Structure 1
């Protein structure tokens, strides 16, 4: 039986929608990374090539599907390649939960298909060159939110939010 997996977008963005600068995250938030690892443990990831190759990229220890028009001749272990979103979803049709890690164009294409968004809001305006796409908040219900203040390890306060698509 071939069914579509539950697609969850997971991202952190600033209040001005920045998600990246020079193919890296513009902040260092250890507790947010710990949250990411807990939420995504043992799950398959879909991401674009640049996100996969970013110096601070997080990879699934289970399964990574990379969207690229130029897959390498030899894939690394636990890495598969797809030419587009539908190909990536088809490769993961046997999974129950799949996390979408970006970048910006992948988020934009996946937003209409996603069931959930684990979206951390970094409470700052930061410089960046990659942005999370605008979305209609009327389509989403905030199911959970956890605020984390700035401290010695976190330059910015942030809120880890879980949104579920309204039926």
Structure 2
């Protein structure tokens, strides 16, 4: 269930390996140009919600439209505009209440907290077991309906095959 009064669509967008790895040393452990292009198409014109570590990551992703950074640090500098600081999840969702869809980019604690409330998953699966130190939470896929899947084989530009999947939460 979404928090009371929230009508926007909450979506997670993430790429993970088959063993659920999403990062190593605060970076993505792969470079997949066509997956990045997919991310760009999905995220264009949409606001991002992320934790401070995701925002400050060397591989940090930023919306040209709007970025909400969740942190308990007061007066956190936000050098990548347009960014706004929220000190609580409810405060962040209040800032985003008028939006149609919000893309949650992480980190793991934000994924864990919001996964039960998420409406849509944009989940790219890298078809490999990759070493890492950050992992996406377990997903009960019986709660989700696969809307679309696009498989991309490994090739000269992509060290790994991957699938770009879109899921929606089943009603009921």
The answer, yes or no, to whether TM exceeds 0.5 is yes
Match of 1:143 in 2: 147
> Do 2:45 and 2:63's aligned partners in 1 also have CA atoms closer than 8 Å?
yes
Is 1:7 the counterpart of 2:42 in the alignment?
no
Q: d(CA) in 2 for partners of 1:24 and 1:16?
A: 17
Backbone CA RMSD of aligned residues: 1.2
Q: In the TM superposition, what whole-angstrom CA distance separates every residue of 1:135-161 from its partner, at most 9, and x where no partner exists?
A: 111110111000000011110000000
Is 1:16 the counterpart of 2:27 in the alignment?
no
Q: Which consecutive unaligned segments of at least 5 residues does structure 2 have?
A: none
Q: Alpha-carbon deviation of 1:75?
A: 3.9
Q: Which consecutive unaligned segments of at least 5 residues does structure 1 have?
A: none
Partner of residue 130 from structure 1, selected from 131, 134, 150: 134
Q: Tell me the TM-score normalised to structure 2 length.
A: 0.92
Q: Alpha-carbon deviation of 1:4?
A: 2.8
The number of aligned residues is 166
Is 1:163 the counterpart of 2:167 in the alignment?
yes
Q: Secondary structure at the match of 2:109?
A: helix
Is 1:97 the counterpart of 2:79 in the alignment?
no
Q: Alpha-carbon deviation of 1:74?
A: 4.8
Partner of residue 59 from structure 1, selected from 40, 48, 62: 62
Q: Tell me the TM-score normalised to structure 1 length.
A: 0.95
Q: Alpha-carbon deviation of 1:22?
A: 0.6
> Do 1:139 and 1:166's aligned partners in 2 also have CA atoms closer than 8 Å?
yes
Is 1:68 the counterpart of 2:71 in the alignment?
yes
> Do 2:76 and 2:85's aligned partners in 1 also have CA atoms closer than 8 Å?
no
Partner of residue 47 from structure 1, selected from 40, 47, 50: 50
Q: d(CA) in 2 for partners of 1:147 and 1:120?
A: 9
